[in-house]
Amino acid sequence: MKNERPFLLVNINNTNTSFALANSRRILRIVKVPTASVHKIPFGRVDISGIVLSSVVPTVAKRVRRLLPMPPLVVSASIDLGVGVRYPNKKQIGADRLANAVGVTKLYGAPAIVVDFGTAVTFDIVNARSEYVGGVIAPGLASVTDYLYQRTALLPHITLAEPKSVIGKSTVDAMRVGAVVGYRGLVKEILHALKRQRGMRKAVVVATGGYGDLMAKKIPEIEHVNPLLTLEGLRFIYLRNCR
């Protein structure tokens, strides 16, 4: 185990693509690249034992696969994930959402709800039998503020941060209240509705994604924040299929 060769995790999302080296015990190193700018694979000439690929951007996935030194294990509902999938059209499930389901089940147990604060905000649900059963998709937090900036004459482009007060004393502060505080309300209401579903009352709730830390601060329903959850899911999928 000491001289174990690492393997490569690739997670292609709409905004960023993550490349990570991992082994059977942990994730070793991560490099994030804007998805539109992926033209090479990082880490140089590292001797890897294999690759697992998750993508929600088919055109970029094709380009990345041409850059890889070997064929990857491509994540989909048709491979052995280690969790069940109860979903009418399995091909519609994003590979990152499947990875989240695997990661949360392995690390936190089931039933579980993953809130992924990415380009979109997704809620992924795993039932008590460790089966992915569906979820919720809402517009991403940054998408809301970007829309206001793009479609109004006087509202600026802002960086998201915790507002100083619930009453904004400037345009930027007011926009942050609307985005951050308002979005927390959306997340809480969806979580409350999900937990009212049969068998989900005691579901563990885990946040991940770029804004997971910011949003989870004042949402007591979120019990854990794990920014590496998707990559951890990919690591478990690789170990199940390629070792």
Predicted confidence (pLDDT) at residue 241 exceeds the cutoff of 90:
yes
pLDDT, position 168? 85
pLDDT, position 239? 97
Distance from C-alpha of 96 to C-alpha of 154, rounded to nearest angstrom: 36
pLDDT, position 191? 97
pLDDT, position 134? 96
The mean pLDDT value of the chain amounts to 91
Predicted confidence (pLDDT) at residue 107 exceeds the cutoff of 70:
yes
Structural domains of the chain, ranges and CATH numbers in brackets: 1-74 (3.30.420.40), 93-243 (3.30.420.40)
Predicted confidence (pLDDT) at residue 77 exceeds the cutoff of 70:
yes
Q: For 150-162, what is the mean pLDDT?
A: 74
Which candidate, 72, 8, 73, 16, places its Cα nearest to that of 41? 8
pLDDT, position 9? 98
In the Cβ-directed half-sphere of 155, how many Cα atoms lie within 13 Å? 16
Q: For 164-182, what is the mean pLDDT?
A: 86
The residues that are catalytic are: 96
pLDDT, position 147? 66
